[in-house]
Structure 1
Amino acid sequence: MATDKNGFEIPDQMRDLAEKSVDQARKAFDDFMNVTHKAVSTAEDSANAMQSGATDVNRKALSFAEEHMDAAFKFAQQMVQAKNLEEMMSVQQDYVRTQMESLGEQARDLSETATKAAQDAAKVVKPK
């Protein structure tokens, strides 16, 4: 037992208990910090994956918008060059058909890209 200058004694068992309590508190804090670091890292990875996926979707959407504008200008030029109403109707019919096909393909492509982005983000979040 340790005695201070006033004659107060701290039993060895009390000292051992206090030491164990401090060690347990330190271990609990270290475990908490490790879990927190992992959670922050996972959140950052998930955000990066989502951002990457969103960038892919945005690039595709911009590319599709450019394609549609090019098609619209081509359509307008063909309409101006049409010699009669029948030719104008034919140009318009071809334009509408082509645009509908293009929209369908682009919608599928965007859907696949968005699905892949979501799956990639989900993989990051799942425990390994």
Structure 2
Amino acid sequence: MATDKNGFEIPDQMRDFAEKSVDQARKAFDDFMDVTQKAVSTAEGSATAMQTGATDVNRKALSFAEEHVDAAFKFAQDIVKAKDIESMMKLQQDYLRQQMESLGEQARDISETATKAAQDAAESSKP
């Protein structure tokens, strides 16, 4: 059992249960992502210039969502394995900092992709 200096104990069975729950949720999410990606691929069959741009944005958004869920699962797994409250707080601080950095980069990337898609659509509609 893990014990911190305040006497807080996390039983091994609780850790095992939490870890199995995270693994099961991860598998369910991976299955969902597989089905979603297949659906997105099927919908792309009849793309025009605007649809192609929208597809690029959708793919990026889907990829970014998957990255965030991956990070959340990794965070959950790390928290389950944490030995004490201090390490939990450090993990949370690091996770939040990384997510904020990632969100900023992804927002810029989506904005650039959407702008390019609109420009491409406008170019393709010119006579």
Please tell me whether Structure 1 or Structure 2 has the larger radius of gyration of its CA atoms.
1
Map of 1:86 onto structure 2? 86
Q: Secondary structure at the match of 1:83?
A: coil
Give 1:1-128 correspondences, 5 Å limit. Answer: 48-127=48-127
Q: What percent identity do the matched residue pairs reach?
A: 79
TM-score normalized with structure 1 length? 0.61
Q: Distance in 1 between matches of 2:71 and 2:48?
A: 35
Q: Distance in 1 between matches of 2:51 and 2:80?
A: 43
Unaligned runs of 5+ in 1: 1-46
CA RMSD in angstroms comes to 1.1
Runs of 4+ in 1 over 3 A off after TM superposition: none
Please state how far the C-alpha of 1:48 moved relative to its aligned partner: 1.2
User: Partner letter of residue 109 of structure 1?
Assistant: D
TM-score normalized with structure 2 length? 0.62
Q: Distance in 2 between matches of 1:123 and 1:84?
A: 58
Count of residues paired in the alignment: 81
Please state how far the C-alpha of 1:126 moved relative to its aligned partner: 2.4
Q: Secondary structure at the match of 2:78?
A: helix
Q: Secondary structure at the match of 2:48?
A: helix
Unaligned runs of 5+ in 2: 1-46
Q: Distance in 2 between matches of 1:77 and 1:71?
A: 10
